[in-house]
Amino acid sequence: MNKPNLKAQRLAALFALGSLLFNYPLLALFNRADLFAGVPLLYVYVYAAWGALIALLVAVIERR
């Protein structure tokens, strides 16, 4: 496989992962009245998943 094709496949996989992370079933798991360090659990999950996706995108794009 050539490198641009591999990068495109990884980006497509990250898109699929992001779609799964921010879809209803997983969001419903974290939509509870529990708090984590004083912050609602759903907010912690959304920001953690968002940050993880950004970090993975940077790793894929900046890879030589």
Number of independent structural domains in the chain: 1
60 and 49 in contact (C-beta within 8 Å)?
no
Write the CA distances from 25 to 3, 18, 19, 54, 62, integer angstroms. 34, 13, 11, 22, 32
For residue 1, tell me if it sits in a domain: no
pLDDT for 2 equals 72
For residue 6, tell me if it sits in a domain: no
Q: Which domain holds residue 40?
A: 18-62
In tens, the pLDDT along 2-49 reads 777 999 999 999 999 999 999 999 999 999 999 999 999 999 999 999
pLDDT for 4 equals 75
For residue 4, tell me if it sits in a domain: no
pLDDT band at 63 (very low <50, low <70, confident <90, very high): confident
pLDDT for 62 equals 94
For residue 28, tell me if it sits in a domain: yes
